[in-house]
Amino acid sequence: MSATLSEFDKEQIIDTLLQHQYFKMPDGRQLYEASESELQSFICSTIDDLDTFCSL
């Protein structure tokens, strides 16, 4: 069973970004300062192999 984006919360997205060596948002904010939708957009635009987070 594949997970959908709605099953992941902000902490899981941040954890995944940290594992991929992303520590801040492109505008310099800390990851925890961004909204969940901003994090989703960032993760989908920067990490290619994350179908779990970025499926349409």
Q: φ and ψ at 24, to 5 degrees? A: -140, 160
Whole-model pTM: value is 0.75
Q: What is the DSSP string of the chain?
A: ----GGG--HHHHHHHHHHTT--B-TTS-BGGGS-HHHHHHHHHHH-TT-HHHH--
In tens, the pLDDT along 1-56 reads 455 455 568 899 999 999 999 999 999 999 999 999 999 899 988 887 766 667 65
